[in-house]
Amino acid sequence: MLSYLHAFHAGNFADVQKHGALALALSMMQAKKSGIACFDTHAGSAIYDLRSERARKTGEADEGVQKLWSARDGLGAEDWKPFLDVLEGFNAGTGKLSVYPGSPAWFQHFLRPSDALTVFELHPSESEQLSGWASEAPIRVLRQDGLAGLLKQLPPKQPRLLTLIDPSYEIKSDYADVAETLGKAWQKCRHGVYLVWYPILTSGLQAQLKEAVRRTDLRKVLCSEVHLRHPPERGMVGSGMLVVNPPWGFDSRLSAMMSDVAGPEVLNMTHDIGWLVPE
Ligand code: SAM
Report the nearest-CA residue for atom 16 of ligand 1.
123
Nearest ligand 1 atom, CA 101:
5
Q: Determine the pLDDT at residue 95.
A: 80
Q: What is the pLDDT of residues 50-104, one digit of tens each?
A: 999 999 999 999 999 999 999 999 998 999 999 999 999 999 978 899 999 999 9
pTM: 0.98
Report the nearest-CA residue for atom 1 of ligand 1.
43
Report the nearest-CA residue for atom 23 of ligand 1.
145
Residue 135 CA to residue 137 CA, distance in Å, equals 6
DSSP letter at 52?
S
Residue 133 CA to residue 75 CA, distance in Å, equals 32
Q: What is the mean pLDDT of residues 167-171?
A: 94
Res 124 pLDDT > 80: yes
Q: Is the CB of 102 under 6 A from ligand 1?
A: yes
Angle, alpha carbons 67-166-252 (nearest 5°): 60
- For the chain, helix (H) and strand (E) counts, in that order, are 10, 10
CA 160 to chain centre: 18
Q: Is the CB of 156 under 6 A from ligand 1?
A: no
Q: Determine the pLDDT at residue 220.
A: 98
Q: Is the CB of 42 under 6 A from ligand 1?
A: yes
Q: Contact at 8 Å (CB) between 140 and 158?
A: no
Q: How close is the Cα of 29 to the center of ligand 1, in Å?
A: 24
Q: Determine the pLDDT at residue 2.
A: 83
Q: Determine the pLDDT at residue 94.
A: 83
Q: How close is the Cα of 42 to the center of ligand 1, in Å?
A: 3
DSSP letter at 218?
-
**Catalytic residue list:** 166
Closest listed residue to residue 100, CA positions, set 117, 114, 84, 112: 84
Residue 83 CA to residue 27 CA, distance in Å, equals 10
Residue 229 CA to residue 226 CA, distance in Å, equals 9
Q: How close is the Cα of 73 to the center of ligand 1, in Å?
A: 32
